[in-house]
Structure 1
Amino acid sequence: MAIKPVSSTPSPWHRKRDPDQEREAKRAAVLHAAAQLFNEKGFHATSLDEVAERLQITKPTLYYYIKNKDDILFQCVSRGLAMMQDAIRVVTLSGGSAHDKLVAAMRQYAEITTMDFGMCVIRVGEDPLPPDSRKALRRIKGGIDLEFRELIRQGIAEGSMVDCDPKLAAFAIAGALSWIGRWYRPDGPDSPAEIADRMIALFTAGLSTRTDATTVSAVKKITRKTPVAPARKKHPPPL
């Protein structure tokens, strides 16, 4: 089933601005359009002709801004990972406890997975790319993982988080939050912020040494089972 695009990509080809800004705006538009198509159809099923068509330009025009289809994917995933890494670093440099920083980092990470480039990191990733490109992108992923582990270590040391394996906890957090990018739909009942809050409530309930009423209420809300309709009775086939 085709997935609806997360957002439209306005074409900047008919706008006039500073030459450097104009080139960067057009390059960003190419990457956004490609990321949307990769998320909707998959990398291999998307052609450069479709990217050009979405931007209402010719295919040769694309080559002023990108090398090839692999280059587009590398740039899209790089941008998504950079957004995640930058958001977590800003959080870690802010004040507050490690517990509060981890919650803020998880919220940023979760919301980015619902954006075009963040979703591309999760739905497509680096697997279709050549070995050197995959290695470069996995280094960035490794850096994000280390940021999460360090926050968890700090939380354990300050007594705001239960004693656990930071590596395993970081894997669990990143894996669960990343999966939002797989199933999130912009026309769904919950906003990215609401989804992030509910997912975070589950993790903080397991990691935190705090047990406040808000956390307990949030966990109950997300884990409450949806009533299941009774199964229809099977009738024997007619003789």
Structure 2
Amino acid sequence: MRNSLILGLILIGFLLGGFFSVDQRELGMVSFSANKPIQSYPPGLHWKVPFYGELSYVYTNQRSSYVAMNQSLSVESGQAFTSKVVVNWQVTQAESYLHYLNNNSVKVFDSELSQAVLTKLSTLAVNAKSNLDFQGNVEQLKNWSLTNLGIKIINLQIVSLNPIAAPVISPHGKLNNSNLLSPESIYIAAQQIKTQADATHRTELANLRASDPQFFDYFIKVHNLGESAQSKQEIPALNKLYN
């Protein structure tokens, strides 16, 4: 009798261990062996055979990523510029998204996303007559898919667009360096550049905060951790900072 009771309790515990809940913002994904497809579960309470299959959760609400261009772009008028954008995206193919992350890393995913956005921006710049035209084209670019990542780009928001001044060329085809500065003037100019850069940085942060407060909060948390953390052990999983 006692053994039967113990076995019954173990069985009940085993069965209860199969229940799991999926949040309204997520999909539950259970992956099995390579020969069996991934099974998805919508938001709600579900049950699966305990210890059979690996349960993962895929966040399906809108997310935001910050992309800064390291290379300059040029429009038809010849004006070159660099830009920083916020990419608003959403998982639309949870199985493809999970498969990509399982075979790569989040860092590789971010790199692939950034490269796709930069390629799209390069195409828009080539077909734009001016910087203003480029910004308008970016604002109209909505809902395009990256099937290899399993996501959809909802839209792009330009945080900053910084024109690059063309160098002054002499009639002989050389840079004009006739107005060389003294060390004191160079120092003053450097201070002015730093002041302008700081002001631009503050403006970009303000624009980012206004366009996406949640991502701004995440960005600040990561920045503060990078400044204050003394070791890797003090840094939590970054996805836990994004609330």
Greater relative contact order, per chain length (Cα 8 Å cut-off, separation 6+): 1
Higher helix proportion (structure 1 or 2): 1
Larger radius of gyration: 2
Give the TM-score normalised by structure 1. Answer: 0.26
